[in-house]
Amino acid sequence: MQVVKRNGKVVDFDISKIMLAIEKANKEVEDNEKLGMKGIQTVSNNVADSIVEDSIPVEEVQDRVENELIDAKAKALAKAYIKYRYKRALVRKTNTTDEHILSLIECENEEVKEENSNKNPTVVSVQRDYMAGEVSKDVTRRFLLDEDIAEAHDQGIIHFHDADYFAQHMHNCDLINLEDMLQNGTVISGTLIEKPHSFATACNITTQIIAQVASCQYGGQSFTLSHLAPFVDVSRKKIRSTVIEEMAIVGKEYTEEELERLVEFRVNEEITRGVQMIQYQIITLMTTNGQAPFVTVFMYLNELEPGRTRDDLAKIIEEMLKQRIQGVKNEAGVFITPAFPKIIYVLQENNIKPESEYYALTELAAKCTAKRMVPDYISEKVMKETKDGDCYTCMGCRSFLTPYKDAEGKSKYYGRFNQGVVTINLVDIALSSEGDYDTFWKIFDERLELCHRALMIRHNRLLGTTSDVAPILWQYGALSRLEKGESIDKLLFNGYSTISLGYAGLYECVKYMTSRSHTDEVAKPFALKVMQYMNDACDVWKKQHNVDFSVYGTPLESTTYKFAKLLKQRFGVVEGINDKGYITNSYHVHVTEQIDAFTKLGFESEFQRLSPGGAISYIEVPDMKSNIPAVMSVLDYIYENIMYAELNTKSDFCQVCEYDGEMEIVTHEDGKLGWKCPNCGNTDQRKMNVARRTCGYIGTQFWNQGRTAEIKDRVLHL
């Protein structure tokens, strides 16, 4: 068995440490109240015998020591032991960061090592970010959060997201107003960047903007290819002039048709170079937090009117899909699936039916999904029904802005952002209620108010922030064009930006309260009532503060494991509810539930509508590379029935034997889950490439034990 220390380090259980702690407390009591060595040994053995878990937090071990001392009638010693623990806690409270930071540097903190599946914790830039994050968490806990909110976070009752960045005046995620920055110019690191004179230059500037934005916020960012499309014609005109000059130099006569063919050939070459620049720059860029920018590329033909610019957009989309199908080379020179950029393709009337104008583009997208897990898909039809007639991209993996119109009554999305997230643990509410509905709603109200206060702390932390803290965001067009020294406050109200009430574990919550899955028609009304209850709370808060609170299906990664562990500590093991190393993300159907793809998507579409701040649905599918018609049938269903969905395929590679099939999840001798090549038996994760979508985006650096267990438990839906 193993013990999880406070700094996250996992060590083997050592009974001598229990005995040593009791002996220290023993010195503080009168001789006639001391416990003899035999008694100390008995208490220690009883504690050891009581531990059946594979791993246990050190605090739980200490709690059991206290109980055993009391059972042994050693009340004075128990009191001294409690006092000893309290003194140690005070020492830790004066400096809560040193041990965490040292464990990070030595790569001994298991929880942080597997916190982010796209961060390599052995790289110094990642360690630097984690070290700074530990300081921020410490400051946040001790000075910026109310004590009961900090305690609720520690207990897994709620989750206060991104505390490692909260001490700074930073926001979550955004939609870059790339059109403004490219058309009107911007400033990067004090250097004026004027309107580009070619498509390739526009692509280069875009990657610089992405890197700058990523370093000024902590969430995802998105931009649309529609903002790049006008620069194709800028290049076309420039190329045309160059070709005419070249022909004149060599005295070559040509027809207009020949000129056009040559010009378009060179235009296509530039599109290829520009798209390649975006792909490789994003993958190879390293931001200040030690990972590639978390960026999403939006591909939506109807953002542009019919004509040459839309046709140019189609060419850019086609090239992006072709290059993504190819993949990028790993260090062994083999093409693999990259994590970023995430790409989203919009399904619409003119590309979803075989007779439609851009159907071939959708077929290419389907081939890309089968090979590389992306793009994900937005239904223009369903989204317009859901979002007041608008269609637009999410910010990163799933965080959606709510509809907003400017002073002229025009819809506006690019240049807006999210202020942050606090997540409510629905499973904890259910278990705390012990199945009583009146108690459930009472506790729900208390927990929602806790989240409300925590969200207002996030909001108030941004109040008074001046544009100088991130000029690229607030002064030079990414989000706004504020004056130097001007406050960002006006962007925090009136629905311009959102702030998110996240939720997790709807399935387990409903299962405990009704003894049924929320897919059951008997239990579904309760599930929908829970969702509506959160939306109603957000409406009340919005009216109270003039801030756009929105319900958000949290993409738990490390937190799904944290919640599961803490639920076991608080309630013991409840079969079918918290007996796994994870809880279910947002409203999703449980990963083990047998349900077909179309039924799952149809069922979850109703819950997406009740997650206006963000949601995504997925289906698990086998290798689809030789069955593109089946992928197309799924896309047709998505277009008709659900706003935002993805197909989870597999994309792996063993560097030992060059096997490119699916890696297996196995249990190692130490009891931990790990990955294995079924072809050669390789279990060294450093010598394999595994890509899985876990939270709306692809992870490539492996996952914690809870998330790995969740991936292992997934059943196929198609």
DSSP string, 452-478: HHHHHHHHHHHTT-BGGG-HHHHTSSS
Q: Which helix (H) or strand (E) holds 299?
A: strand 295-299
Are 294 and 424 contained in the same domain?
no
Please give the residue that has the higher pLDDT: either 495 or 51. Answer: 495
616: Cα within 13 Å, side-chain hemisphere = 26
Residue 690's pLDDT is 87
User: What is the CATH classification number for the domain harbouring 223?
Assistant: 3.20.70.20
Looking at the structure, tell me whether residues 308 and 333 fall in a common domain: yes
Query: End of a domain among 584, 600, 631?
Result: 584
Type and span of the H or E element at 601: helix 597-608
Domain final residue, candidates 554, 584, 614:
584
CA 578 to chain centre: 22
Distance CA 338, CA 345 (A): 17
Which residues are bridge partners to 336 per DSSP?
A: 328
| Count of Cβ atoms closer than 10 Å to residue 284 Cβ | 10
Q: How many CB atoms lie within 10 A of CB 338?
A: 22
682 in a structural domain: no
| Report for 81-85, 471-475, 554-558, 582-586: range of highest mean pLDDT | 471-475
* Residue (of 364, 417, 363, 420) closest to 395 by Cα position: 417
Residues 334 and 456 reside in one and the same domain? no
State the DSSP code for 497: S
**What is the rounded CA–CA span in Å between residue 517 and residue 483?**
53
Task: Please answer whether residues 609 and 629 qualify as being in contact, where contact means their C-beta atoms are separated by less than 8 angstroms.
Answer: no
DSSP 701: S
Own/partner long-range contacts of 233-236 (Cβ < 8 Å, ≥24 apart): 233/308, 233/309, 233/312, 234/196, 234/197, 234/198, 234/199, 234/202, 235/198, 235/199, 235/200, 235/267, 235/270, 236/263, 236/264, 236/267
Segments forming the whole domain that contains residue 229: 174-386
Q: What percent of the chain has pLDDT over 70?
A: 92
Whether residue 87 lies inside any domain: the answer is no
CA distances from 532 to 141, 386, 529 (A): 31, 15, 5
Burial readout 347-374 (b: 16 or more C-beta within 10 A, e: otherwise): bbebbbeeeeebeebbbbbbbbbbbbbb
Residues 365 and 422 in one domain: no
**Which residue among 561, 584, 607 closes a domain?**
584
- Residue 33, token pair as written in the block: 């109240």
Tell me the whole-structure pTM to 2 decimals.
Answer: 0.84
With respect to residue 35, please indicate whether it lies within any of the assigned structural domains: no
pLDDT tens for each residue of 379-427: 999 999 999 999 999 998 899 999 999 989 999 999 999 999 999 999 9
DSSP state for residue 327 in the 8-state scheme: -
Express each pLDDT in 262-293 by its tens digit: 999 999 999 999 999 999 898 887 665 556 78
Contact 447, 429 (CB under 8 A): yes
Q: Is there a contact between 275 and 323 (Cβ–Cβ < 8 Å)?
A: yes
- The string of pLDDT tens digits covering residues 113-154 is 555 545 566 666 666 676 777 778 877 888 899 999 999 999
Quick check: 458 and 165 in contact, CB under 8 A?
A: no
Asked if the structure places residue 38 within a domain, the reply is no
Note the pLDDT tens digit of each residue in 178-206. Answer: 999 999 999 998 999 999 999 999 999 99
**Mean pLDDT in residue range 563-584:** 92
Q: Are residues 190 and 267 in the same domain?
A: yes
Residues contacting 279, CB < 8 A, separation 6+: 320, 323, 324, 328, 338, 341
- Rounded to 5 degrees, φ, ψ at 347 are -85, 130
Task: Clarify whether residues 355 and 504 are in a common domain.
Answer: no
| Pair (487, 565) in one structural domain | yes
Q: Report which of 199, 135, 197 is spatially closest to residue 163, judged by C-alpha positions.
A: 135
Strand partners, 417: 174
Indicate if 219 and 364 belong to the same structural domain.
yes
Model pLDDT for residues 337-346, shown as the tens digit of each residue = 888 899 999 9
711 domain-assigned:
no
Count the alpha carbons within 13 Å of 481 in the hemisphere toward its beta carbon. 9
One-letter amino acid of 637:
Y
Active site residues: 172-173, 395, 397, 399, 418, 552, 557, 696
Q: What is the pLDDT of residue 102?
A: 57
Q: What is the pLDDT of residue 115?
A: 52
Q: Is residue 28 part of a domain?
A: no
Backbone angles phi, psi at 547, to 5 degrees: -120, 140
The answer to whether residues 234 and 266 belong to one domain is yes
Q: Do 198 and 318 fall into the same domain?
A: yes
Please check whether residue 288 lies inside any domain of the structure.
Answer: yes
Residues 340 and 430 reside in one and the same domain: no
How many structural domains is the chain composed of?
2
Tokens representing 709?
């267990």
* Pair (358, 426) in one structural domain: no
Mean pLDDT of the chain: 90
CA distance 317 to 314: 5
Quick one: pLDDT band at residue 447, thresholds 50, 70, 90?
A: very high
DSSP 8-class letter at 491: G
- Is the residue at 329 inside a domain? yes
Q: Which residue, among 316, 488, 310, 340, has the nearest Cα to 415 in the 3D structure?
A: 488
